[in-house]
Structure 1
């Protein structure tokens, strides 16, 4: 059953009684509906009784796109690795996402039964928020994205999510976030002791049916764990 909680969040309840939650964060320039194809095809995990949430990022002007407005979790000030990061935008979005996590806990779904997932900019936010969250999550999924504020992570990370499983997937032909950038993020996480499952696919800045199938099984595994 699809419901629109408000103008900023798409919600899917797969059963009357939900057992777990997954929060999906879209990429730059699109909205929550961009994740419909993923959510609808997670056929195994939805049988568990899941609450899917896909919030919309706020509209903001994007510096590298001549200040044109777009939905984005943070501004893009220049080419990756060549420009400063939008720290204020990242932290503003992080506070918004932590509020969503807290609301899920208040409605009775513990953080240990919640997966935080995202694509592109959404993947960056999933990693940023998930690794800093003060309550343990079931898992973090980062699709076609990279770490932001990576140098701050050792000091900012929460021990609550030090052992949280992380699934990272990336297209070998990604023209938006080069696979080399994502590999550096993976290596940074591994060096800090995180548990990362890394997979590359022969696609661009997109998801294949094979990826969705693996995401489905991975979610089943982490959400079924004690």
Structure 2
């Protein structure tokens, strides 16, 4: 088996003792540094905490089918950008393994999974849902901003199976702008509904006038949710 490929990433270190970690995945074609810069543009002060390490990985460049095979920094391939087509599970599962090495690094640093959050923007949010719901369901939670899953995603089945077995599931925090492409906004809302139907605890927030982008109010709401899930504690 090939060795797991290490990802480039940037991180915002906590100002105090490191007792929790947040992995934030960028959208297609972006980078970890690009996402961090975007967050700093819309959120003052930036997404930084006294006890949480914020990690921004960069996806490796790979041929991307919707761009006719051109190289792009994407977390996985898609046959096409459509909710109705099958998922490209080979690339998704390979990347789940690669991202799992970041989680292992945090575990090695003494951070338990219940003190970790995984999330992302657009494709990064979809990647986070696969990673958290299928491979690391014992994390504290998952967030998805302007994101959706395909309608027959294996993630729905994984969530339902865990729910029926009485096994723990991460809580989902999801946001979408109402001025994003109408079909994408509907896909995002349907994703939240289907995950909730499968047994997951979900919260969906819509932002009037917001396009396929981040916003200050959205990020402030996300920051509050993060602190609720990962409070500062001396016993973690």
TM-score using structure 1 length? 0.87
Secondary structure of the equivalent of 1:47?
A: coil
Q: CA deviation at 1:134?
A: 4.3
Structure 2 CA distance for aligned equivalents of residues 44 and 69 of structure 1: 30
Kindly provide the CA deviation profile for residues 122-160 of structure 1, in whole angstroms up to 9, marking residues without a partner as x: 000111111123461111110111125844235434569
Is residue 2:222 matched to residue 1:215? yes
Structure 2 CA distance for aligned equivalents of residues 195 and 225 of structure 1: 23
Q: Which residue of 2 aligns with 1:67?
A: 69
Q: Which residue of 2 aligns with 1:205?
A: 212
Residue pair 2:84, 2:150 contacting (<8 A) in 1 also = no
Q: CA deviation at 1:8?
A: 0.7
Is residue 2:179 matched to residue 1:179? no
Residues 150 and 162 of structure 1: is their aligned pair in 2 closer, same or farther, counting only changes over 3 Å?
Answer: farther
Q: CA deviation at 1:78?
A: 1.5
Gaps of 5+ in 2: 1-5
Q: What is the root-mean-square deviation in Å for CA atoms of aligned residues? A: 2.6
Q: CA deviation at 1:16?
A: 4.9
Structure 2 CA distance for aligned equivalents of residues 17 and 137 of structure 1: 20
Q: CA deviation at 1:64?
A: 1.6
Q: Which residue of 2 aligns with 1:12?
A: 12
Is residue 2:152 matched to residue 1:166? no
Structure 1 CA distance for aligned equivalents of residues 103 and 152 of structure 2: 22
Structure 1 CA distance for aligned equivalents of residues 156 and 84 of structure 2: 22
